[in-house]
Amino acid sequence: MTHIYLDYAATTPVDDRVVATMQPYYNITFGNPSSIHHFGQQSELALENARETLAKNINALPSEIVFTSSGSESDNLALRGIALAARQKKIGNHLLISPIEHPAVSQTADQLAKLHGFKVSYLPVDRYGVVTASAVLSTLRDDTILVSVMGANNEVGTINPISEIGQVCQDNAVPFHTDAVQYAAHQSFDVNELKVDLLSMGAHKFYGPKGVGALYIRSGLDILPILTGGSQEFGLRAATQNVPLIVGMAEAFQMVQDEGTSRRDHVLLLRDQIINYVLKEIPASQLTGHPQERLPNHASFVFEGADGNTLIQVLDAAGFACSSGSACKTGDPKPSSALIQLGYEPSWALGSLRVTLGKNSSKDEVMKFLEVLPGCVEKVRGLTN
Ligand SMILES: *Cc1c(COP(=O)(O)O)cnc(C)c1O
């Protein structure tokens, strides 16, 4: 049976050209970039070229890019690193985040609250999950040390008005972090236009390797390392850098800049085909997330009275790999907390489906998927009730 992959928001295959670029850094240019000798220098050159590539494409300085092990680690470094520095300087105690952040942000904020006595407030969102700049302005406090609002939501695909939120934070001199792990996979951006102070990325969402990410940190910001040891990454992230993965990330990121527009046009057409078909053909279905301000490859739905996890299994058995949108596993009948936050009743929120497309997705794959989807939803509704 052929299996069709429709879960590009979970991860993407590494581009063949990226694999080829990474290869020599495993066994030929393998030196430790911190070593003084020739082998070390060659690796350091590759590392610094990769840093330069990322920096120039987002209008940052190379010294403002810290390589990490993942999007999750970048989020952790942003929140915990800023919180620790604020604690050291005794300048404030309050974090402001959206209520539908990725767990890498929300769980970190949670731990800072539970273990370290920070206060966390949650920004109001509308039914689509949008955070407005005025909501940030009215929720900011004198003791706020960080605002964190994701660029685009992984579950419902909604894109936030980052530069407007950034403006409010800048006006109030509060550092602003955005989790751009989904966002950065689909468009070019400039950190000064976005007015962000910290921005997280992860390579495996844009055809780069898993296990590598980056955090943009505006120079002059007070931040402490959360992984302590050697002085790698400007003293902000100890550990010998994973040069092959970092080189691969830079190559994949460059391709987003070069090929982003054509990739976008390709997936947008297929995405709208899915959305239009589902809303027309499947009764008691709704699109989740913003109808326009959403990721170009992202279609997400709720189906009333259909268990989402069962639907994923039924679709998988039919040869289609989709997601319920969050990382929740089968056997856990809890609806996604994001969908509950957005105001969906549990009878709807339990029936979530996320279909995300990629540069390898074809019209034929989408047609085949749409042929089976209504029947699968019907079947699952029969099993659920
Ligand atoms: C995937 C994802 C992450 C986590 O990135 P990893 O590199 O898998 O750790 C964080 N935030 C968002 C929005 C994501 O989609």
- Which pLDDT score, from 0 to 100, does residue 203 have? 98
CA 36 to ligand 1 centroid distance, Å: 34
DSSP 209: -
Ligand 1 within 6 A of CB of 102: yes
Distance CA 85, CA 31 (A): 33
214 by Cβ neighbours in 10 Å (0-12 / 13-18 / 19+) ranks as buried
Question: Which residues contact residue 147 at a Cβ distance below 8 angstroms, ignoring those fewer than 6 apart?
Answer: 96, 97, 136, 140, 165, 169, 174, 175, 176, 177
On whether the CB atoms of residues 84 and 226 are closer than 8 A, the answer is: yes
What is the DSSP code string of 227-239? S-SS-TGGGTS-S
328 is catalytic: yes
Please give the backbone phi and psi of residue 97, each rounded to the nearest 5 degrees, phi first.
-135, 165
Q: What is the pLDDT of residues 14-60, one digit of tens each?
A: 999 999 999 999 999 999 999 999 999 999 999 999 999 999 999 99
pTM over 0.85: yes
On whether the CB atoms of residues 266 and 342 are closer than 8 A, the answer is: no
Atom 14 of ligand 1, nearest CA residue: 181
pLDDT beneath 50: ranges in the chain: none
Comparing C-alpha atoms, which of 153, 150, 149, 145 is closest to residue 136?
A: 149
CA 155 to chain centre: 10
- Which pLDDT score, from 0 to 100, does residue 74 have? 98
Pairing of strands 144-148, 4-5: unpaired
Locate the ligand 1 atom nearest the alpha carbon of residue 202 and give its number: 7
Ligand 1 within 6 A of CB of 298: no
Please identify which of the residues 169, 322, 328, 376 carries the catalytic annotation.
Answer: 328
Q: What is the pLDDT of residues 239-288, one digit of tens each?
A: 999 999 999 999 999 999 999 999 999 999 999 999 999 999 999 999 99
